[in-house]
Structures are given as structure tokens and as C-alpha cells.
């Protein structure tokens, strides 16, 4: 019987699941994903995590516990240091496997390979994946083959994002599921800028994206933008951000501000998010100075109420529609 590998449905799951899944299946493992976030998962996460950790990390802890309860043979918690040359990820990703191991006892073996493209060579990360392959009794060639297939699938997934699908929708399409057909009578265009792990988890974000769609807004996320557009936006700053996702947030925000191709921008971040305290501050100030595109910040945490979010979204969409009418008259 093939071994099972658990992948927690949190943090960078929404960005890299196709790659990870393809690789593990390529080396003969069976992939088990934790459940969608629910009250139990979040409660377990909050209970077992450090109080000051951000919401997505607490949720992630809950997902790891969920996998532990499913008795998987391994849990995949990679140490993702960098996914782009000369760019880091937030500190929590650098210490994630160590952190999780310290928090939760009696875990099955953790696959904690290091994913690190800081020096821009694929070789380091390939070697790490070969190590994983060896755990499943695969030779170097077999692992490499699985790795290349995995990166191929990842590219396929990313091209779906660029077609205007959100990460969640793209994951569905990639897995061969059909999307629910949307009515397309949107009269607003809203950019939602955030880490995918904050807005793609429908439980912790309280379905912000769905809600906006129901209010008649077409939603754009930063993953839908082509890389050069983001870089174009980011180039307006005097020093480029050293975290690639924060660079993307700033770049996407500034791009939308410059192009004015959306009616409004909403930035969503988790309570106590360190990196976002920098990007929010900058974006908010720049948007205020320009006074061209309305900008709203939403902070989510484990105590956020759905009604509060609903009211703010309604107020924001009302304001955008009001703006539009004012322009027409």
C-alpha cells in the first residue's frame, strides 16, 4: 500500500498545491489534504498556537492537527525560504517546520525540505525534492522526473490564474472540476489585494470575494496580474521590497492606482501581520495623496464578525456606485 502524505490546507497551499500534489503522486505517495477550515480546526489552531501569531498561522496549526487525526504517514511542512531570486518570504515561513514541531507533540514524520530560490538556481530545490523521493524509495531520475512534471503542472495552474481565475477557482479547474457558471452582469470592478491565504480561505475571510461578487462586483486579485505589470507598479517605489509577496501587494496596488482600471481597491490582511503593517502604511498613504481610487483596509482575525464585514463591504460598494453616478452627471 502506498504511503500517505498530508498537506495542510493553509498558507501557501493556495499557491503551490498543484506542484506539491503532482510531485508526491509522481513518487508514488497518496496525497491527503486536510478539511476545509471550520470552527473546530480554527479553535484547535488557536488553542495550540502562540497567542500573538497571525490568523493564517493559527489556522495552519489547526490543519496540521486535523491531518494528525487522520493518521497520515507523513505531513508535508516545507521550509519555504524564497521563491524568487533575492527575495525572501515572511519570517514565519522560514521557521515554519521548527515552529510547528515545537507546538504540537506526537506528530507523524514531517517532510520539512527547504525550498529556496534565493540564489536563483533550481538545483538546490531539486536536491531537496530528490531527498523526498528517496524517502519513498525512488531513484534520483525518478524523483527528477516527478519534479519536472510538478513544475509543469504548477505552470499550468499559474496560467489559469492569469486568465482571471482566483486561486480557489484555478485549483478547481486544475483538478478537473467544473466551475459554477457566474452571471456576468457586474457593474463594478474591485481589486482585492491580499495574501491568498487570507482571502482564499473562505472560512477565515468570511467569503469576502463571494460577497463582493454577490454585490455585483467583478473581483481582481494580484495573482491575476502578469508579472511585468506588478513589477511596473513596484518600480514606482524607491526601494524594492525584499519579500516577493509584499512586493506583489505593493506592485499590484500601485498598478491599479496608476491605471485606474478598477473602481476601488480593498486590502485585506490578518490581525498583527508584520509585513502588511509596512505595505498597508505605504499603500494607504499613496492612495490618500493621489485621491483617485477609493481604498479600504479590512483586518481579519479569529473574532471578526460576518455582519461587520458585510456592512463595510456594502458601504464601500455603495460609495463606488455613488462615485460612478456623480461622474456620469
Identify residues 113-152 at the interface with another protein (CB under 8 A). Answer: 114
Query: Is there binding between residue 291 and another protein (CB under 8 A)?
Result: no
In this chain, which stretch among 26-34, 92-100, 257-265, 316-324 interacts with another protein, using CB under 8 A? Answer: 92-100
In this chain, which stretch among 27-35, 36-44, 87-95, 144-152 interacts with another protein, using CB under 8 A? Answer: 87-95
Q: What are phi and psi of 189, to 5 degrees?
A: -120, 120
**Beta carbon of residue 104, minimum distance to another protein (angstroms, whole number):** 10
Of 47, 95, 131, 182, the one binding another protein by CB under 8 A: 95
Question: In 3D, which of 123, 139, 157 has the Cα closest to residue 20?
Answer: 157
Query: Is there binding between residue 242 and another protein (CB under 8 A)?
Result: yes
Of 103, 173, 229, 319, the one binding another protein by CB under 8 A: 103
**Beta carbon of residue 78, minimum distance to another protein (angstroms, whole number):** 13
Identify residues 22-81 at the interface with another protein (CB under 8 A). Answer: 49-50, 52-54, 79, 81
> Is 167:159 a contact under the CB 8 Å cutoff?
no
How far apart CA 146 and CA 32 sit, in angstroms, is: 18
Query: Is there binding between residue 266 and another protein (CB under 8 A)?
Result: no
105 by Cβ neighbours in 10 Å (0-12 / 13-18 / 19+) ranks as exposed
How far apart CA 62 and CA 49 sit, in angstroms, is: 9
The CB-side HSE value for 17 (13 A sphere, CA atoms) comes to 23
Query: Is there binding between residue 268 and another protein (CB under 8 A)?
Result: no
Q: Which is nearer to another protein, 32 or 94 (CB)?
A: 94
Question: In 3D, which of 244, 245, 251 has the Cα closest to residue 265?
Answer: 251
How far apart CA 14 and CA 20 sit, in angstroms, is: 11
The CB-side HSE value for 54 (13 A sphere, CA atoms) comes to 22
Of 31, 32, 46, 94, the one binding another protein by CB under 8 A: 94
Identify residues 168-207 at the interface with another protein (CB under 8 A). Answer: none
Beta strands in 38-112 (DSSP E): 74-76, 79-82, 110-111
In this chain, which stretch among 9-17, 144-152, 181-189, 277-285 interacts with another protein, using CB under 8 A? Answer: 277-285
Residues engaged in binding another protein (CB under 8 A): 49-50, 52-54, 79, 81, 86-92, 94-99, 101-103, 114, 237-239, 241-243, 271-278, 280-282, 285-286, 289
Amino acid at each position: 500500500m502506498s504511503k500517505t502524505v498530508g498537506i495542510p490546507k493553509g498558507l501557501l497551499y493556495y499557491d503551490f498545491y498543484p506542484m506539491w500534489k503532482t510531485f508526491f503522486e509522481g513518487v508514488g505517495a497518496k496525497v491527503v489534504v486536510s478539511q476545509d477550515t471550520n470552527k473546530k480546526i480554527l479553535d484547535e489552531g488557536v488553542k495550540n498556537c502562540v497567542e500573538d501569531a497571525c490568523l493564517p498561522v493559527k489556522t495552519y496549526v489547526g490543519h496540521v492537527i486535523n491531518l494528525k487525526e487522520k493518521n497520515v504517514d507523513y505531513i508535508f511542512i516545507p521550509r519555504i525560504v524564497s521563491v524568487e531570486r533575492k527575495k525572501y518570504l515572511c519570517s514565519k515561513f522560514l521557521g515554519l517546520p521548527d515552529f510547528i514541531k515545537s507546538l504540537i507533540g506526537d506528530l507523524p514524520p514531517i517532510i520539512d525540505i527547504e525550498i529556496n530560490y534565493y540564489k536563483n538556481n533550481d538545483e538546490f530545490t531539486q536536491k531537496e525534492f530528490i531527498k523526498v523521493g528517496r524517502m519513498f524509495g525512488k531513484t534520483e531520475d525518478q524523483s527528477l522526473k516527478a519534479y519536472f512534471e510538478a513544475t509543469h503542472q504548477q505552470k499550468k495552474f499559474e496560467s489559469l490564474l492569469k486568465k482571471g481565475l482566483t486561486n480557489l477557482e484555478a485549483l478547481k479547474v486544475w483538478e478537473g472540476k467544473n466551475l459554477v457558471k457566474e452571471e456576468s452582469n457586474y457593474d463594478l470592478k474591485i481589486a482585492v489585494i491580499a495574501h491568498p491565504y487570507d482571502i482564499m480561505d473562505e472560512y477565515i475571510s468570511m467569503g469576502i470575494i463571494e460577497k463582493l461578487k454577490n454585490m455585483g462586483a467583478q473581483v481582481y486579485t494580484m495573482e491575476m496580474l502578469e508579472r511585468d505589470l506588478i513589477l511596473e507598479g513596484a518600480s514606482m517605489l524607491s526601494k524594492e521590497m525584499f519579500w516577493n509577496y509584499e512586493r506583489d501587494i505593493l506592485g499590484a496596488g500601485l498598478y491599479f492606482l496608476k491605471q485606474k482600471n478598477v473602481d476601488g481597491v480593498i486590502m485585506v490582511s490578518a490581525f498583527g501581520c508584520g509585513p502588511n503593517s509596512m505595505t498597508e502604511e505605504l499603500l494607504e498613504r499613496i492612495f490618500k495623496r493621489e485621491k483617485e481610487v477609493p481604498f479600504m483596509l479590512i483586518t481579519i482575525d479569529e473574532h471578526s464578525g460576518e455582519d461587520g464585514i458585510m456592512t463595510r463591504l456594502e458601504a464601500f460598494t455603495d460609495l463606488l456606485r455613488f462615485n460612478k453616478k456623480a461622474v456620469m452627471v
